Every structure is written in C-alpha cells, then in structure tokens.
Structure 1
C-alpha cells in the first residue's frame, strides 16, 4: 500500500520579550530560549519550531495543533506567529562519494537513505 503524503502549513505562536540585553522567546508547546537581538530570537524560534515539528513528522506522529490565541499568556511580551510546514514527504537528493566509502557503507546497511538520515540526525543533535 502506498504511503499517504501530506503537507500543511500552520502558524505557531511565539511570545517574545526583552530582559535587559536578551530577547527571550517561548512557544507554549515546545519551549524557548534567548538571543541577542529580536531578529535572532525570531530566527532561533523558527529553528526550534521546525526541528520540533520535523521530529513529529519523521516519527509518523501528528504534531500538536498550535495553541489558540485566547490560550496564550503573553505576560507583557509580544506574540509572533511563525509558519511551519507539516509534511511527511521525502525528497530525493544526489550526492557524490568516493566508491571506496560507498562500498564500506553498503557493507554495513542495505538502506543507504536510512543510513544517511540517521547519521545526519546524530550530527545535527550535536550542534
């Protein structure tokens, strides 16, 4: 049976507030952090949302719906709505590797895509 592919764009809220020299950001569902500038805070919040939602999609789970506007406690901050694409679609990419390296990879796995996906996740988790 073919896999059902879905794609949707949702707007998730992020509360932004300034505390001294730091711009804090917080999403009610996925947490937050801080950055030196407002623009950096928005960018980091977008990365947080993309990563969190991506983990749900890759795991075959439905991510939580965005928090409703009436349920957001801005506590003196400003609310920004950031777009996140919800999708389980895969994308084919072409890479070039030395044949000797490819042979070593093939000796350890019968699924190159899964191998590179796992390797990429491990590496990105370290950053």
Structure 2
C-alpha cells in the first residue's frame, strides 16, 4: 500500500463540526468538537478508499490543498491533509510458517494470501494503537 494524503475541509455546523473531502464525494466525518471531526477524518478516508477499491472504482488523485476553491456557504474552520492508504499491486513473497498453523489457516480461509494480508493489517493497526 502506498500512503497518500487527501485534503479535507473542516467546517462548523449547527450541531458541531464536520470534515469532508472535496475529491471524494460522500466521504465525511463529524463530531461535537473540531478535534473529534478531524480525528475521525482518517478513519472515514480509510473506509471510503477501501470501499472504492472493493467496488473497482478508480481512486482520484488528491488535489493540491492550495488549489481548492473556497465555498462562501461553508463556515470553514480549517483545511487538513489526511493520510490514507492506496492499495498497491500484489507482490509474490515466500514465507516460512509452521505446518500446523498453515493447516489451521487453510481450514478457515478460502484465500490464504488474503487471510495473511488481513491478519497483518489487523496486527499493524493494533500496533499503531498501542504505540500511539
């Protein structure tokens, strides 16, 4: 996966704050505070990109932050660059794994490579949460 940064606009609303991505219609985050909306933007972006990839949609290139036009109807609080992961091409690797563990994986997984990649992603996400 390749790291990519999409611009988001943080706006003040009647019930709190929201963040939206001009390059990705429908990708939004909200919170009671600006910080909540901003922190949720990365999770929203990750989910949105994953759904787009799963549906075979082409991911747009991120716009330049300074190139985004201002909308006079938006009570803009800030502009953010939000990190996301763009899936890369699959690469064949050779790994060694204990045969009993491999047999257990094969009993529950229809696709061994996908299972191992998903397990790696989950472990890495957990390591990021622990590490801060």
For normalisation by structure 1, the TM-score amounts to 0.55
- Which blocks of at least 5 consecutive residues in structure 2 are unaligned? 121-132
Count residues in correspondence: 111
- Which blocks of at least 5 consecutive residues in structure 1 are unaligned? 1-5, 121-127
The aligned counterpart of 2:17 is: 23
- Determine if the alignment matches structure 1 residue 62 to structure 2 residue 58: yes
The Cα shift of 1:25 comes to: 2.3
- Determine if the alignment matches structure 1 residue 49 to structure 2 residue 45: yes
The Cα shift of 1:24 comes to: 2.2
Matches of 1:50 and 1:73, distance apart in 2: 28
Matches of 2:60 and 2:87, distance apart in 1: 13
SS in 2 for 1:13: strand
SS in 1 for 2:41: helix
What whole-Å deviation, never above 9, does each CA across 1:20-69 have from its counterpart, x for those lacking one? Answer: 4x222222323324212211110111211122224445666531233550
The aligned counterpart of 1:81 is: 80
CA contact (8 A) 1:7 1:89 kept: no
For normalisation by structure 2, the TM-score amounts to 0.54
